[in-house]
Amino acid sequence: MAIIKGRRFIVVDGPVDPGEGDAIEITVTFAAAPSSVSSAFPKMKFNKNKAILFEFDDDSPSVLTAYEKLKLSYYTDGCGNNKNFSCGLAINAKNNFNNAEWGDNYPGKTTYAERGALVPFGLDLMNHSYYHEPTGNFNNGSDIQKNFRDMDAFVLEKDNHYKMNALVVPTNYAGYQLEAQNFGYLFGASEGTFDGLTPYPAQFNAVGAIANIPKQAYTAIKRTFSDNWTNGGPQWTALTNLFASGSVDYFEIGSHGIGDGVNFNAWIDSIVSQANDTLLFQSMREFMEYKHLKEYVTKTEAINGNSVKITLDYSTVPNQNISWYDLSLLLTTDKAITNVSINRSDFALSYNATTKLINVKKRKTIWT
């Protein structure tokens, strides 16, 4: 932990801390002793094939209306448990012109309490800079580092000790991607500002393949952005492109609002019907943290009679303020699964004996 100008912020140091020890032990029991057992991490959480990453910008109150629909829209964890659709919310601290806090009942913005109530439903808060603009009565000018880091500290102080890990570049201002990288965030999104970093995906329509994103400490994500929710708009085009191609499996999209919500709701309904439970709809952070964990966690397997112990050691995962500690495993074995157990009471466990999918789940939302 370090201090900057009286504000507290948490720096990246050492491995992640999943709580109650670094290792998770999963014991899988079979109907008979297996001749061989292997496990692998699927490319996406819950063994899904595609993903839509979504956020609202500028602390938009549309997130409240959207969540009325998102809370009622589900995919499963592949083991019979529903998970509601979720998203991100890019927020600023204060207004440029009167220095009022956006979260303190500012007109046209969400309050601290309103967005805090959605965090348990999967909402992620994203760094959109302390002041949105470098000009106005109150601003940080061209001091990108101050604007970025003060915002990180502000949310930690004001939003129930929530620690951000995702950037949304304000407007198209240069320097934020590099600052987020230097500060230890995992990723940042923009339509076209990447500070010399290679964006993923590179296509104009922002539909890409997760396999093309290399293992790296920071990733610049190219997103689509639109406030036009009419059928045929960018949201619908990206959705069509996602389902039309087997070579692409995700896109990220942002918006300021959803109007009366009718077209937004229709878009969500279209996703649910076309996906048939093969797609994730979540924040960029949840999506990318799974990728980060599975690339760095150390997994070992040991067969003992009619059971196998799978150990997931998080001590080899670089600490980048992880919120979702979730991991999914697919087993390959010649024997039927009769039971799966875990040695951690702080992690939830689910499994599907037929598909041999195992999930361990835990989310951190408070940092001290």
pLDDT tens, position by position, 163-182: 999 999 999 999 999 999 99
pLDDT tens, position by position, 290-314: 999 999 999 999 999 999 999 999 9
Domains of the chain by start residue, with CATH:
10-43+298-361 (no CATH), 46-291 (3.20.20.370)
Secondary structure string (H, E, C) spanning 221-275? EECEECCCCCCCCHHHHHHHHHHHCCCCCEEEEEECCCCCCHHHHHHHHHHHHHH
Mean pLDDT of 88-102: 98
In 185-252, alpha helices (H) = 234-244
pLDDT category of residue 95 using cuts at 50, 70 and 90: very high
The count of other CB atoms within 10 Å of the CB of residue 309 is 14
Owner of token pair 């990220």: 252
In 43-143, alpha helices (H) = 62-70, 112-118
pTM for this entry? 0.95
Owner of token pair 């979730």: 326
CA distance 358 to 322: 20
Residue 9 has pLDDT above 50, yes or no: yes
Q: For residues 54 and 254, is the Cβ–Cβ distance under 8 A?
A: yes
Q: Which of 285, 5, 15 is nearest to 153 (CA)?
A: 5
Q: Which of 48, 42, 45, 44 is nearest to 277 (CA)?
A: 48
Name the token pair of 210.
């997760």
Mean pLDDT of 268-278: 97
pLDDT tens, position by position, 53-67: 999 999 999 999 999
Name the token pair of 189.
């999104």
Residue 1 has pLDDT above 60, yes or no: no
Residue 146 has pLDDT above 70, yes or no: yes
CA distance 315 to 16: 7
